[in-house]
A and B are shown apart, each in its own frame.
Chain A
Amino acid sequence: NAGVTQTPKFQVLKTGQSMTLQCAQDMNHEYMSWYRQDPGMGLRLIHYSVGAGITDQGEVPNGYNVSRSTTEDFPLRLLSAAPSQTSVYFCASSPRLESLSNEQFFGPGTRLTVL
Chain B
Amino acid sequence: AQKITQTQPGMFVQEKEAVTLDCTYDTSDQSYGLFWYKQPSSGEMIFLIYQGSYDEQNATEGRYSLNFQKARKSANLVISASQLGDSAMYFCAMSSSTGANNLFFGTGTRLTVIP
> Which A residues are within 8 Å of any B CB, using their own CB?
31, 33, 35, 40-45, 48, 50, 56, 58-59, 88, 90, 92, 94, 97, 100-106, 108-109
Q: A103-B47, A106-B44 are in contact. Are A41 and B101 (CB under 8 A)?
A: no
Q: A50-B100, A109-B44 are in contact. Are A101 and B33 (CB under 8 A)?
A: yes
Q: A42-B108, A90-B45 are in contact. Are A100 and B102 (CB under 8 A)?
A: no
Q: A33-B101, A100-B33 are in contact. Are A42 and B44 (CB under 8 A)?
A: no
Q: Which of A40, A44, A100, A106 has the most CB of B within 10 A?
A: A100
| B107 A41 Cβ-Cβ under 8 A | yes
> Which B residues are within 8 Å of any A CB, using their own CB?
4, 31-33, 35, 37, 43-45, 47, 50, 52-53, 91, 93, 95-97, 100-108
Can you spell out 28 A-B residue pairs with CB atoms less than 8 angstroms apart?
A: A31-B101, A33-B101, A40-B107, A41-B107, A42-B105, A42-B106, A42-B108, A43-B45, A43-B93, A43-B105, A44-B105, A48-B102, A50-B101, A56-B100, A58-B102, A59-B104, A88-B43, A92-B45, A97-B101, A100-B31, A100-B53, A100-B97, A102-B95, A104-B35, A104-B101, A106-B37, A108-B43, A109-B44
Q: Which of A42, A56, A109 has the most CB of B within 10 A?
A: A42
Q: How many contacts between A and B, using CB within 8 angstroms?
A: 67
**In the complex, which residues of chain B have a beta carbon less than 8 angstroms from the beta carbon of A44?**
105
Q: How far is the CA of A53 from the CA of B93 in the complex (A)?
A: 27
Closest-CB distance, A9 to chain B (whole angstroms): 10
| A48 B44 Cβ-Cβ under 8 A | no
| A106 B35 Cβ-Cβ under 8 A | no
**In the complex, which residues of chain B have a beta carbon less than 8 angstroms from the beta carbon of A41?**
107
Q: How far is the CA of A108 from the CA of B45 in the complex (A)?
A: 8
| B103 A108 Cβ-Cβ under 8 A | no
Closest-CB distance, A81 to chain B (whole angstroms): 21
Nearest-neighbor residue (CB-CB) of A9 within chain B? B43
Q: How far is the CA of A100 from the CA of B44 in the complex (A)?
A: 22
Closest-CB distance, B5 to chain A (whole angstroms): 10
